[in-house]
């Protein structure tokens, strides 16, 4: 696969990086969420596991679901919303409480559940990367309905395996969404009732999977097949801040930006697929939690 060299002229300013945890080759770490005490929850996509890195540095299996898991977000301390596909390949959303399955709901009309972010106390938004919609999920009723369907959320080539709408984050009353397949970052303003206004293109020609904001409004994105973490400042200027092979998601804790990857499983480097890792980048700023 030949990728367009979209970051050929991008400035590089690498920050200090440290491997916090390592996983075997061909472990697809897809997403992560960090609790207020520093515990890190990671979705191990292909095997349907949620892994927990405790504050003591020990890794454990927090939960195991039949099928695959993709997105994850904290509802409250040790209560999580996750999504993925069940053992029959049907998309689902589930609530985990203290590592046990609290509730489970299939989404028969879904296709590729992906990034999750909180909209209000009981409502989370969830990307569907192949259907090209954003679902809303009421976590108390565990009901799912379409929140936004728009051409900018969809693939422009339905035969492409790349996900369209992917990562979701809210900053300053605006929902930002990456469309990885079309190399777009989208901006979706919210009205006073937290309903979407017309989506618009915020940035073109950038390959972002998941992303996070610092308190100043700078965006940090995992580029997945471009094997780098980038920083996009408020003037839309991009800088490469780290090289992480197959990086899929990022999350802030303290002054660190944590990154998970798959070691290049989707598009292996010439040297072959690498062990997957959780990496901490010392970015020196605090993020939006």
CATH of the domain at 221: 2.120.10.30
Residue 146 within a domain: yes
Structural domain includes residue 6: no
Question: For residue 164, is pLDDT > 80?
Answer: yes
Tell me the percentage of the chain whose pLDDT exceeds 90. 98
Number of domains in the chain: 1
CA 77/CA 38 separation, integer angstroms: 11
Pairwise CA distance, residues 15 & 242, whole Å: 6
pLDDT exceeds cutoff 80 at 17? yes
Residue 278 lies in a domain: no
Residue 143 resides in a domain: yes
What's the rounded Cα separation, in Å, for the pair 101 and 220? 32
Asked if the structure places residue 163 within a domain, the reply is yes
Whether residue 233 lies inside any domain: the answer is: yes
How far lies 14's CA from each of 7, 151, 243, in Å? 15, 36, 8
**Which pLDDT tens digit goes with each residue over 261-283?**
999 999 999 999 999 999 999 99
CA 60 to CA 40: how far, in whole Å? 11
Whether 19 contacts 277, CB under 8 Å: yes
Whether 7 is in a domain gets the answer: no
The pLDDT of residue 240 is above 90: yes
Burial of 155 (0-12, 13-18, 19+ CB in 10 A): buried
Nearest alpha-carbon partner for 281 in 222, 237, 216: 222
Domain of 50? 30-250
d(CA 189, CA 81): 24
Residue 168 has pLDDT above 80, yes or no: yes
**63-81 per-position pLDDT tens digit:** 999 999 999 999 998 899 9
Tokens coding 175: 């929902």
Let me know if residue 2 belongs to a domain: no
What is the model's pLDDT at position 6? 97
């Amino acid at each position: 696969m030949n990728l367009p060299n979209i970051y050929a002229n991008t400035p590089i300013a690498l920050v200090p990086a440290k491997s916090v945890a390592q996983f075997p080759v061909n472990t697809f770490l897809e997403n992560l969420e960090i609790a207020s005490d520093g515990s890190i929850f990671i979705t191990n996509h292909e095997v349907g596991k949620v892994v927990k890195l405790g504050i003591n540095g020990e890794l454990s299996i927090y939960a195991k679901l039949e099928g695959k898991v993709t997105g994850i977000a904290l509802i409250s301390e040790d209560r999580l919303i996750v999504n993925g596909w069940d053992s029959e390949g049907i998309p689902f959303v589930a609530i985990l409480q203290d590592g046990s399955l609290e509730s489970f709901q299939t989404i028969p009309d879904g296709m590729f559940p992906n990034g999750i972010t909180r909209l209000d106390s009981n409502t989370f938004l969830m990307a569907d990367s192949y259907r090209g919609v954003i679902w809303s999920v009421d976590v108390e009723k565990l009901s799912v309905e379409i929140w936004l369907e728009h051409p900018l959320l969809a693939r422009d080539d339905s035969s492409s395996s790349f996900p369209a709408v992917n990562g979701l984050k809210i900053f300053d009353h605006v929902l930002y969404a990456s469309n990885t397949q079309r190399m777009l970052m989208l901006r979706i303003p919210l009205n006073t009732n937290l309903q979407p206004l017309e989506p618009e293109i915020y940035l073109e020609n950038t390959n972002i999977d998941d992303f996070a904001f610092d308190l100043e409004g700078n965006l940090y994105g995992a580029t997945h097949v471009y094997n780098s973490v980038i920083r996009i400042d408020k003037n839309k200027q991009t800088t490469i801040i780290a090289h992480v092979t197959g990086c899929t998601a990022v999350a802030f804790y303290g002054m660190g930006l944590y990154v998970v990857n798959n070691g290049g499983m989707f598009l292996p480097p010439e040297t072959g697929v690498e062990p997957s890792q959780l990496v901490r980048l010392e970015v020196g700023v605090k993020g939006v939690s």
